[in-house]
Every structure is written in C-alpha cells, then in structure tokens.
C-alpha cells in the first residue's frame, strides 16, 4: 500500500484544485449575470424613454418628450458601455469553465489510477496471503506425514 499513499495525496491536491476552479467559475458566472442584469436594466430604461416620447407625442407635453429622449439616450449609452464588459465576462466564464473541466479530467484520471493501484495491491496481498496459507498447509501435511512414518521403516509392507 506504500505506492498508493503518494497517489492519494496527489488525488487530494487535485480535488482541492478542482474545487478552487469550481469556485472561480462560480465567481465568473456571478459577475457575468450581474453585468447581464445591468445591461437588461439599461435596455429597459431605453424602452421606457421611447415609450415616454411616444406618449408625449400624443399629449403634446414637451417636458415629457425631452425626459423620454434623455432616458432613451442614457439607457442606450449604458447598454453600449456594458456590452464590451459582458463580452469580456463571457470570455472569462468560458476560460474558467475550460480550466475547471480540465482539472476535473485530471482528477478523475488520478482517481482511476489510485483505484487501479489499490486493486492491484489488494490482489497481490491476497495472493501472498493465499501462498502463505498454502505453504503452511503443505508444511503441516509434511510434518504429519513424517510423524506417522516410523523411522527405519522403508515404507514396504513385507
């Protein structure tokens, strides 16, 4: 079992690294969602501004029209400013996802190696145990045979 101890330590390190990658992916996803939500709010602000402009066209209120135009512009500017940040966050999420999946594959490969090593060691140990039992039983039979056979008897039934 000595050879599996370092493998188990390696497996533990890989598990910790995988967990770190999972957390980094979660953080990147959280940032992406936050930016997407902000962008949705900006688009909604732009829509509200356009609706206000349309409503003021029917009522003739110039202040509502100006407020609507400014809301629409502000929403469009905010949305345009957030667009590159959302794109960057999406790239970051994809990078973190790839890192996480690569680490997961690495951990699973190590896990398989540990399991195979332990299975081989268990099999070898079982064989050694069986050989020891076989030797013990064979020696016992030889001792019993030597005790039953009288000394000086040639073993012929004359």
Instruction: Say whether pLDDT at 149 is over 80.
Output: no
> What average pLDDT does the segment 57-85 reach?
91
Burial status of residue 18 (CB atoms within 10 A of its CB: 0-12, 13-18, 19 or more): buried
Residue 89 near residue 31, CB atoms below 8 Å: yes
Low-confidence winner among 1-5, 28-32, 60-64, 145-149 (lowest mean pLDDT): 1-5
Calpha distance 25→18 (Å, rounded): 10
Give 119-138 pLDDT, tens digit per residue: 888 898 899 998 988 898 88
Residue 75 near residue 49, CB atoms below 8 Å: yes
Task: Return the pLDDT at 39.
Answer: 96
What stretches of the chain adopt beta strand conformation (E)? none
155 pLDDT band, cuts 50/70/90, is low
Residue 21 near residue 99, CB atoms below 8 Å: yes
Instruction: Say whether pLDDT at 33 is over 90.
Output: yes
Give 36-50 pLDDT, tens digit per residue: 999 999 999 999 999
Instruction: Say whether pLDDT at 29 is over 90.
Output: yes
Residue 151 burial (CB count, 10 A):
5
Calpha distance 87→36 (Å, rounded): 10
Calpha distance 146→137 (Å, rounded): 14
């Amino acid at each position: 079992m000595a050879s599996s101890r370092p493998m188990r330590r390696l497996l533990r390190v890989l598990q910790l690294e995988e967990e770190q990658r999972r957390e980094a992916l979660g953080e990147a996803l959280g940032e992406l969602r936050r930016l997407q939500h902000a962008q949705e709010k900006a688009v909604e602000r732009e829509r509200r501004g356009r609706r206000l402009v349309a409503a003021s066209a029917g009522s003739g209120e110039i202040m509502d029209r100006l407020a609507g135009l400014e809301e629409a512009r502000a929403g469009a500017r905010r949305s345009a400013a957030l667009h590159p940040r959302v794109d960057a966050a999406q790239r970051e999420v994809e990078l973190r996802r790839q890192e996480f999946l690569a680490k997961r594959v690495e951990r699973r490969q190590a896990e398989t190696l540990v399991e195979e090593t332990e299975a081989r060691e268990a099999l070898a140990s079982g064989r050694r145990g069986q050989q020891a039992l076989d030797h013990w039983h064979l020696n016992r039979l030889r001792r019993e045979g030597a005790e039953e056979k009288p000394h000086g008897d040639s073993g012929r039934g004359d």
